Every structure is written in structure tokens, then in C-alpha cells.
Structure 1
């Protein structure tokens, strides 16, 4: 350690005043042993050194020129930043600050090299997996089936039940095209009329709509239901989407919740009602969690923002501005039903409202426009939302 420093710390700090973080990096380089050698020539006021690159098996040569008062005049380095400022310069200066004394004549240091680890190992080599099996023998098909049956009581909450589930029915691909496959097809990618191709490919006939509905009974417990929903707009999202279209504002959260099912003939819209009643009605059930411990009727008198509220005349009123209303009208339009039984259920009480179908054609066109002009561009990477 030098008794009286030739190179002042204040001079180093002043030289790197616009890039102070380089001093920290230079300290790390010194502490890590990356400064390999230093040559100090007092007669011509110069210091030369070499510094090992942080992430490469190479060295950069550094040269520091000083004024007569040993203030830093100029510095260069072979690294890409070497014509401006770099942490290799800072490392040489800091090493020299602590090791060059005012009484020293021209001299040099060969810094002891750090041991190099040439034999690099992967994580798998460092932490090899141990051989393990949970059963003393291979299981029979009957035992696996019994295990799957026991897991079903958890209603899909166990990840292992998904691993053991049967492969989806290949016939579903003939009934309903995989939208992602269409988007990745050569025909679509090279076409100048991409929207037209999508409309033609995704069209679904009435017979296929009926078959898809039957093949996807069970909703989340049915693998086909999950596959058919992918990249389709579900009725539960119609409200937020239509609101965004009317405002012409499309937040990122809107694109993270889109899927669908009871398929519209366009092939890109869908709905999953909670139940069907006869040939003309459907059922949609809502369970307002915040009212689970209070009288539902009393709560609906106070809260005018829900899908149903009770007015001053003690009459139930359906809130047509609520997102659930757009969802229900979308379900009615897609399934071709005439009315919906909306059920509000809590452990304390049940309220049932009958909602008649309205003309939803304008909204269907708006949803299709959103799908082709916004959503398809988003999933193909052509639209960025912030």
C-alpha cells in the first residue's frame, strides 16, 4: 500500500463525474483480481495496465496520461468504450491509487492471477437428479384408472389429474378449426386478404354448432371445451369488449381474458351458458360473494350498480348497463334462445329474473370488427397495447 498517493482519489472521482457507476465497477474489477499488471513511468507521467474482461477470456490494455501535477489528462482502452470512459480505466486508476507512492520511480507490478476454472459444469452436472420411484412396481391400467377416479373428487384442482386425463377427441378438429393453426398456416401468412381467409376458414354450419355443443358438455371438466374456447371471444367478455369498442380504448387486461364456446356461425364468437331449459330458454347463475351473509333482497335495495336492483316501488329492475347484461344477450343470440332465467344465489336467498332476448346483430358486428382489427393483430404480434 502506497504511503503517500501519487494519484488522488479526488482526481479519479472528478474524471468520472459523469459516469460515477464506472468507479463502482472498477472497484469490483480490482477486488475480483481482474487487474493483471501495471507499469508506472514517473518520468513521462504515464501508467499502463491490462485488465481482464468481465465476461470473456481476454484482456484489455489501458493507458493513462497525467498532467505535471498528476491530475488525469487522458485515458484510452482497447475495449469498445475505450475512446470514452470505461470501468477498465477506473480499475487501473484505483489499483494505482493504492499501490503507487510519490517516492516510487518507474516500476511495474505483475498481479497474481486468479485461479481459472476451465472445466465449466452445467447445472445438471452440479446437481444430478436422484433416481426415484414412488411404487415398488409398475402399476396396472386398472390401478391407474382407480387413482384417476379418486382424483376427480377434487374437481380439477389437482395438477396430476390433468396429466392423467385422456387425449382430446381428434374429431373436434373436423368440427371446429384451431384458430392458431390457421394463423400459422402458409396460406394465411402469405395472403394479402387475411381477414377474408379467416372468415372463410372459421365459418361453422348449424350442424357443427350442435355437435360442438354436445361434445363440450361439462365445461371445464371437459378437455374439448377448453380446446374449443382457445382464441374465441366468450359471452362473459362481451360487456368489457363492447364498452372498450364504444370508447375506442383497449386496455391490456382486455386481451388477457379472451376465449369462448356455444359457437356462433362466424366461428370466432361463443358462449357457455350455465344451463338450457327446453328449446327456448337458458339459465345463467351468479353468486354475489359480497352478499353471502346478508339478505339479498335488502342488499339489492341499497346497491343500484348490480345486474339486478330493487327500485323505490319495490320492483326488481334489470340493469341494462351492466356487463352481465351484454353477456346474457350474447348467449341468447348465439344459442338462438328467446329468454334467460338469471339466478342470483346466496346461502341466504335466491332471486330469479327472466330476461328476454333483444336484437344483438349490431353488437355481433362490433365484436367481429374488434376480433379481426384488434385481437387477431394482438395475438400475431402486430398490435402493441399499453
Structure 2
């Protein structure tokens, strides 16, 4: 090898040393000795150890599709509580507590500011993977790529990574990752896909005016002004002799106008100078009817045929993920409120009760989140223990009492339903009657459901409306599970439950809904 280097020129020797990262200065003999030393010592250097990046988890490279509304059906239920726990404790593999809740607040601002530029989805048997781009908060032209992994069955966040300094994987908890998690939560719960649309995603709008006026005519004294009204501003400039019209003259002009428009099927500008008639006022004008017009409209809106009832059940099997499910429930009393109505006393504020049924508030508490999160696990354990297959179902509507609806947690074969309860207070204890499980009672040495509890009214209502005879009532905790078989009580339903619900609907709920029209 030494003879080989002696035959090389000085320039070639220097190039070889430069490639090896060595010094290139000195005489030719020094260059040759330096190369010989490198050759002698090359076997003493071990192969370099490649330290994997923290992001060295499995991330698919291909198979991604742009996130679209139809992907909502395949997404698991992801709640704010799960996201909060991930940012607080890092619920995935490392179990490190970071308490990084400020990122969630900043993530909300990014989401509201439409800074999620792109989001794509891929999935396998156990995971959902999301990838895309989120814009920086303070710089318009800066953006970061993100990667997120979610458990396909439970919806728990598993891994996350972002290119920003605070979002390094495999469990990054930066504000950009938080914005994506919050977007997915809103997408799963409400169907809102808050990904910024590109300029080519919308129809061209060169000819569309900036704002279209769609307001209704108002009287001059009701027009909103920035300045405060004074008597001088509202003073009528007409002379006295022109102001002294008979009280019915305006009504006469209005009736002539309405009759002309209805007979000739033409519009005249004078019609738009009068405010629209209130539906409630029109209803009071026809007080000779047996039933107010507004209440008649409510009855007509909830009425269904047997075919309609089947179609509603099929179209609402996604339950809370379906807009139709919310629309069909709005004017109906659902089984979860049967107990509140049956046990209502004369001291109960019926208007507040009707308001909570007609316009339920979206309340997120730990017991509610706990129940939603573990309902699927309870059903899976029920299937393993009983070897039954639980099928999803939608909103059942009674044909005879169309103002009543029920959504069981599942169906078993052709004659049974499933109802799951996951009590938050007793999540870590064995199931037995007592303070943690007030809806249970021990009778003849066996645990059963209290007939005086509102869960009993809920289940009996579900059985009647769905037309089934048996309910598997499942109580699930982290260390125990209880499965009760409850049969349909026909006498109680027909003679007690349904009459009370019908009276409440006709006397309180229907008038309340009619007053909101």
C-alpha cells in the first residue's frame, strides 16, 4: 500500500486526505505517512451507532385520503376529556405528566382562526392515523406538518408529532396538535370539519354581491339606530287633518292589499311595507277551533306511519353522529326523561322541564364522559360472556304515541334490547346495592333493578316503543359487571306510564313547543 501511495501525485494525496476529513498540509512524505496511519487504524473503529429519533414509531407513508364528511362514520368517539387527559398525563406509552393544558387553550384559538390547512386520514385494524398541515399562530407564511395516532376502538390519543419545537414526538403536546385534536372532536360529535378550504374548493363568486339583504320590513320607530331616539326625531310631520283617520282605515288598506295579492297572484311593493304576521297572533285570532293552530302543527309534525317509523330508525343508527337523530328527537319526549315526568310533583316547574326536553343543554361532566367512553367496552364484555351479538339501532318512534321516542344502546336477536350503565361513582368497586348503586335493590337474595327508579321507567318505555319483550340491563365497572334480564311489564306501561306521558304531552309539552314556533 505504501508503494501505491508513493506513485500518487501530491494533488491526489491531498484529495484522498480531504475525503477522509484529515489535514492536507505538509510534504509528500508526511501525506503518505498520514494515509498509511489511516489504513492501519481503520479496523479499530466500530460501525457507527444510529440512535433512533423519538418519532421512531410506526407511521404509515401511503394510503392517506383527504378527510371528508363521509369519514365520520369510521372515526372513533373522541371526547374533550380524553384530549385533556392526554395533554395532562400523556395517556400513551410513557405515562409522563406534563400538565400542558395551556397548549389546549392556544389550540382553540388556532382552530377558531381556521389555521388547519390540510388533514388526511389512514387506518388499519387497530389505529386511525392523521396527517396534515397547521399554520403558525403569528406568521402567515409559516406552517408545520403533524402526525397523530388514535386508537380505533376507544378513541384514545396514542401518538402525536409536530415539526414545531414544542411538538417533537412520539407524544408531542403543542398547540398545533391540540388544534387538530379539537377539530377531530368537533368533527366526530357535530360533523363540523374545520379545515380551511382552498380558493379552488369553492365555486367562483365574482358576480355574487358582498351582502344580500334578507330582512323583514320594520316600522320606522323600530329601525335600529346608533343615535338615541328623541321626541323630535319621531315627530309626525303631517298636518292634523291628515292624521285623523279612523282606527280601522289601516286595516282596511291592509285587507285590500292582501285580497288583491291572493286573487291576482301578483306582488306589489306595498306588501313589503307591513311587518309579517306573527304565528302566535294568528293562532289567537282563530280561538273558535278545538285546538290552537300551533298545537295542530306540532301534532302534524310528529305524526308517523309504520313505514316512517322504520325509516327513522334506519336513518338514525349513528345516533349522536347523525343530524337526523337530533332533528327527530327535538319535538318528542325520549325514554331517558320518562322517569322525570312520571315522578313529577305539583311543585315541579313544568316549563323548565319542558325547556330541558325541547332544548337540552350540552353538559359535559366526568360521569357523562365516563359513560360514553366505556359503553362499548361493556357491550364487548357482554358479547364475550353471553355469546350474543349486539346490533346498533336508531331512534324508535311509537306509531300510536308519535310524540314518544326511544334509543336503546343496542339490539339482541329479534326480541331483546340492551341498556348499559357505567356509574362514575362506583367505577372502582364491586357492584352491589348501596350508596354507589342507588338504582339496585336485593330481593330474595338476588340483585335487581328498583321499580321506583327512573331507569325502570326508561327501560319499560324502550321495550314498549321498540316492540320487544326483554331487556339486558348491563352495569359495568372497572372490576365487575352485572347483567340483569328485565321483562316487559305490560300492565305498568298501559295503565300507568303511557297515560301519564300522554297527559304531560297534551297539557304541558305540546303547548310549550307550540309557543316556541
TM-score (norm 1): 0.49
TM-score (norm 2): 0.38
